[in-house]
Amino acid sequence: MPLILPPHVDEKTFQKALDAFAGVVGRQWVLATDEDRYTYMDIYAPGDAETHTPGAAVGPASAEEVQAIVRLANEYKVPLWPISRGKNLGYGAAAPVMPGTIVLDLGRMKKIIDVDERYGYCVLEPGVGFFDLFAHLQENKIPLWMSVPANAWGSVVGNALERGYGYTPYGENTRNICGMEIVLPTGDMVRTGTGAMSNSPNWHLFKYGFGPSWDQVFAQSNFGVVTKMGMWLMPEPEATLGLRMQLPNPDDVGWAIDELQPLRLNGVLQQNPSIGNSLRVVASQTPRSQWYQGDGALPDDVLRTILDEYHLGWWGIDLRLYGYDEVNEAHAKIIKAAFAKHTQQEFEVVKWHRGDPIQNSGAGVPATNALQIINWRGGRGGHVGFSPVLPANSEHVLRQFHSTKKRYEEIGVDYYGSFTLFDRYAINVNMMVYDRDDHALTKKVRDLFKVLVADAAKEGYSEYRTHISFMDDVALSFDYNNHAMRRLNETVKDALDPNGVLAPGKQGIWPKTYRGSRA
Ligand code: ADP
């Protein structure tokens, strides 16, 4: 990909900045050829990858090198986009919001600094992948479990910073963050919580410190580069008990949420179950052309034939209880009784005991097969996810489900959705799968996305996370008091980052230097 410079930077200054970076990390870790730039583009982009083309990438090996690069970025006034592993697939992968931004690739910093069995935490550098941490825990027989997202190709740190989630009782990944080391946009370094004391034994035990608590200020933000993260891990339970069921009708998701939410809130259910439409299962295993060659979205009768052939319902639900055998059995009884009010079906029961193979346990076991869904449309596949947060009840869930499905059908895209239930809210991930080279289809997807953001904003729903192409749209929907939140974010941004060097435009937060680039 040919060089696109960041705004206000001439080629000579840009080159000088790269030379200065090479002085810190070595020439081989400054990646600035056309091929390098191509490598850091959004590999799943919905037809608009060039609008986020990076100018180059630089790969430091330590926090000190990160500090040096950030200081040089201030000197030359070039923007940086930090990534941990850059596998933020469906949300922009490694690519920056603003074209020309230099990717600060922290993938070489991949030390597992500490794992503490007694207190259940680990301390990680940003490049540690879910597979790396899993292998470390397994090889060292450490009885701590991770929370992993459906696609676990990325890093533990990047995913927690983006508020990714998994399905164990520790499933809200951002909530497990406890104590970080951060390089600020000026190159200064801070440690959050009690890490701000130089000798505290509590850095990864007690989140708050003294005064304002900063960990979450650096999640989904462009206020700093995280170079170390403390993260709580779950003690391995004695046993788990899984309850699986196929729900035959589209509206069954409503009563299922109504029954499960109080049980999730009162702790009978401790994890975040995902209720996903079963087409996703089929789409990960077969191409669409095997079932349907017509125009428009997959018709309901074709879908029914497919689901019947695979013995699937409209939705699949997979619950998991963790703890002591007797307690799990008692909780399972309560859940079964709640479901018996609506269906004659029995749950399929899956049991696991300590010592059994971990694969079937309900632990976070990293996998990437969820990504196979992108082959559904043929060609070079890709996906984006539209993911609003809703109150966890049938009224909101069914209204949102029907209106989203209708929008998909209007535009001729197949509906894939899931509702993941948390204690008080549900996250509704709606995937849009496409062949990236089908420009008519990717254009439809981009249009659909904008319509969905606008529909959701009318209901007062925000997204829990979004793709780099839509960050301004989502940020704009936070409109209370004439966008007071944007004023707050940008006041802090300008104070911390006077030259606007860190991730301009991330989450719709623009430093004053680049505010004109807002979409
Ligand atoms: P993954 O873990 O999936 O590989 P990425 O590395 O792509 O995740 O990170 C996703 C996004 O999170 C990045 O685009 C960036 O905005 C933010 N991010 C990731 N790592 C860091 C970090 N160490 N410091 C600050 N922001 C980060």
Cα 230 to Cα 74, 75, 93, 226, distances in angstroms: 28, 31, 24, 11
Q: Which residues of 124-150 are buried (b: 16+ CB within 10 A; e: fewer)?
A: bbbbbbbbbbbeebeeeebebbbbbbb
Predicted confidence (pLDDT) at residue 1 exceeds the cutoff of 90: no
369 domain residue, yes or no = no
Q: Judge whether 178 lies within some domain.
A: yes
Would the CB of 159 count as within 6 Å of ligand 1? yes
Residue 13 in this model has a pLDDT that exceeds 90: yes
Quick one: 225 and 304 in the same domain?
no
Mean residue pLDDT across the chain = 96
**pLDDT for the residue numbered 517:** 85
Please report the pLDDT score of residue 281 as a whole number: 85
In this structure, the chain runs to a length of: 519
Tokens (6 digits) for 295: 């125009």
The answer as to whether 6 is a domain residue is: no
Residue-wise pLDDT for 390-421, tens only, equals 999 999 999 999 999 999 999 999 999 999 99
- The per-residue pLDDT for 346 is 97
Per-residue pLDDT tens over the stretch 55-87: 999 999 999 999 999 999 999 999 999 999 999
pLDDT exceeds 90 at position 37: yes
Do 42 and 86 share a structural domain?
yes
**Cβ neighbours of residue 32 closer than 8 Å, sequence gap 6 or more:** 3, 18, 55, 56, 57
Which of the listed residues 67, 162, 497 should we mutate to test ligand 1's pocket, taking the one with most ligand atoms within 8 A of CB?
A: 162
Give the chain's domain count. Answer: 4
Question: Is 90 exceeded by the pLDDT of residue 494?
Answer: yes
Cβ–ligand 1 distance for 158 under 6 Å, the answer yes
Q: Please give the share of the chain, as a percent, with pLDDT higher than 70.
A: 100
Q: What's the CATH code of the domain at 508?
A: 1.10.45.10
218 and 166 housed in the same domain: yes
Assess whether 354 and 452 both reside in one domain: yes
Domain boundary among 60, 78, 105: 105
Q: Which listed residue (91, 415, 416, 461) is catalytic?
A: 91
pLDDT band at 295 (very low <50, low <70, confident <90, very high): confident
User: Does the pLDDT value for residue 370 go beyond 90?
Assistant: no
Burial status of residue 323 (CB atoms within 10 A of its CB: 0-12, 13-18, 19 or more): middle
Last residue of a domain, one of 105, 122, 149: 105
- Above 90 in pLDDT, residue 280? no
Shared-domain flag, residues 441 and 488: no
175 is catalytic: no
Whether pTM > 0.95 for this model: the answer is yes
| Residue closest to 230 by CA, chosen among 210, 206, 253 | 206
Query: Is 373 part of a structural domain of the chain?
Result: no
Structure tokens at 268: 């009978």
Identify the domain containing residue 486 by its residue range. 472-517
Q: Where are the beta strands (DSSP E) in 239-330?
A: 239-247, 274-277, 315-323
Q: Are residues 396 and 476 in the same domain?
A: no
Catalytic residue flag (residue 91): yes
Task: Report how far ligand 1's centroid is from the alpha carbon of 507 (Å).
Answer: 12
Domain identity same for 300 and 432:
yes
Query: Would 340 be classed as within a structural domain?
Result: yes
Q: 173 CB less than 6 Å from ligand 1? A: no
294 pLDDT higher than 90: no
pLDDT at position 211: 96
Residue 270 lies in a domain: yes
- 345 lies in the same domain as 231: no
pLDDT (tens digit, 9 = 90+) per residue, 223-269?
Answer: 999 999 999 999 999 999 999 999 999 999 999 999 999 999 999 99
Residues 56 and 178 in one domain: no
Please name the residue whose Cα sits nearest to atom 22 of ligand 1: 226
Whether residue 487 sits in one domain with residue 405:
no
Catalytic annotation on 191?
no
Please give the distance of CA 25 from its chain centroid, rounded to a whole number. 29
Q: Is residue 370 in a domain?
A: no
| Cα–Cα distance for residue pair 501/94, rounded to 1 Å | 17
CATH for 93: 3.30.43.10
Q: Which residues contact 328 (CB under 8 A, 6 or more apart)?
A: 239, 240, 241, 321, 322
> 519 pLDDT band (50/70/90 cuts)?
confident
209 with 247, same domain: the answer is no
Of the residues 58, 80, 84, which should be mutated to test ligand 1's pocket, given the most ligand atoms within 8 Å of the CB?
A: 84
CA 258 from centroid of its chain's CA atoms: 26
CB-based contact 316:420 (threshold 8 Å): no
- Whether residues 290 and 433 fall in one domain: yes
322, 169 contact by CB (below 8 A): yes
Indicate which CATH number applies to the domain containing 304.
3.40.462.10
Give the end of a domain, one of 75, 105, 135. 105
Sole residue written with tokens 């990438």: 57
In a domain? residue 320: yes
Which region among 271-275, 377-381, 384-388, 417-421 has the lowest average model confidence (pLDDT)?
Answer: 377-381
* CATH code of 230's domain: 3.30.465.10
